Structure 1
Amino acid sequence: MNKLICIEHATKCFKDKVVFNDVNIEIFKGDCVGITGYNGCGKSVLMKCICGFSKLTQGEVKINGKKIGKDIDFIENAGVIIESPEFINDLSGYKNLKIIAEIQKKIDEDRILRIMSLVGLKNEENKKVRKYSLGMKQKLRIAQAIMEYPEILILDEPTNGLDKQSVENIRKILKSFLSKGGTILLASHNKGDIETLCNTVYEYNNSDCKFIKI
């Protein structure tokens, strides 16, 4: 099996506070791995460490065999939603995505428009982001994460702020991504997301500050 993400003996501390301790997780191609736990337990921090946005206190993260912080600085070929990305409020949703797409030049304008339609933003492409609702902004984040054909999705609460119909649509999109060989690491308080999408789940254990496979 193709191991995409390997987290070994990962520990993260902020001064004297242990956020998580000696975490070991393996994620293989095609997996959807869920992370659950109460607010503030360290799910987002773990995801930031996996992506290279924050450094571990101890341990290591490898992506396709490459060590974060040594072989590569940040996760490669991944779509990421962790907390709230800063969109430019005075530009349209489409123009925000176009600016991001121009960095790697992997996709064209038609791809951006198709993805916006797919996530439920058809006919909203030219509206300024400042006029987007909370749910529309979340759809824009999802569009950003999936539009450049990523190998891996790192998703922190991807269905936050979405109505029931939109949640079902996003789950359908993620199932399609998995069916094509994609891999997902998902943190969610939505039990339905975890039960519908994940084949493996790790839950935060407060007694020893670890994410334990359940």
Structure 2
Amino acid sequence: MLNSIRLENISLAFKGKQIFGNLNLKIKKGETIGIIGANGVGKSVLFKIICGLEKANSGKVFINDTEIGKKEDFPRNIGILINEPTFIPIYSGIKNLLLLSEINHIIDENEVRECMVKVGLDPDNKTILKNYSLGMKKKLAICQAIMEDQSIILLDEPFNGLDFSTMSDIRSILDALKKEGKTIVLTSHHQNDLDSFCDKLYFIDNQNLIVFTDELREKYFS
């Protein structure tokens, strides 16, 4: 089966601190993968490396078996949420998304509207971003990551700071994407956020990724 994402011997040091050392990862097409780790261990940096936004000191990144940095610098089939997107606070949700849609000119206004409805937002809501709740901002951020029908979705801490009701809404959105066959990679510093949803869990430890086991669960989360 085709690997959507393949990392080979990724090493990165930043300001004298080793972040990753010979990290390897394979994610098959259609898999949902969770990456667990404390704040500051490099979860967001790993996403940037996958997208070509951050260059590793050594190693190779392949998206759909195409090496990034060779034939392709930024894969267009990746939707990404890292931290909080920089939306314009005095614009409505749909106005922000329409501005972003003009970058690639792949989708029209109707498709933007459909995606907003898909994540539980009203495209006709004139509320400006600075008055959005945290849950609404998170849904809008996910919308910008998926609205161009990307086949690979990277979401950094999608559940962070959300109440139970909004977390349930986000899970429903992700369940729908999973059923569509999307390759999804999520991060969290709480293993319970990802446990029941992901096909496989990894843990960032000692500058590398290791499969999350019951032993690790007992060691770090009991």
Could you say which residue in structure 2 is the equivalent of 1:111?
Answer: 111
How many equivalent pairs are there?
212
| 1:123 CA displacement | 6.5
Distance 2:153 2:175 in 1: 12
Q: Runs of 5+ in structure 2 lacking a partner? A: 213-222
Distance 1:48 1:40 in 2: 14
Per-residue displacement from partner, 1:88-129 (whole Å, max 9, x unpaired)? 112111100011112222222222223223323227632111
Superposed, which structure 2 residues align to 1:1-214 within 5 Å?
A: 1-122=1-122, 125-206=125-206, 209-214=207-212
Distance 1:40 1:198 in 2: 22
Distance 2:15 2:87 in 1: 32
Q: CA RMSD in A?
A: 1.6
TM-score by length of 2: 0.89
Distance 1:183 1:13 in 2: 28
| 1:63 CA displacement | 0.5
8 Å CA contact retained: 1:116, 1:125: no
Q: Runs of 5+ in structure 1 lacking a partner? A: none
Change (3 A) 1:111 1:161: farther
Distance 2:121 2:190 in 1: 22
8 Å CA contact retained: 2:93, 2:123: no
| Deviating 4+ runs (over 6 angstroms) | none
8 Å CA contact retained: 2:113, 2:123: no
Identity %: 44
Distance 1:15 1:88 in 2: 32
8 Å CA contact retained: 1:204, 1:210: yes
Question: After alignment, is 149-158 or 65-74 more displaced?
Answer: 65-74
Distance 1:124 1:166 in 2: 20
8 Å CA contact retained: 1:120, 1:166: no
8 Å CA contact retained: 1:50, 1:75: no
8 Å CA contact retained: 1:10, 1:60: yes
TM-score by length of 1: 0.93
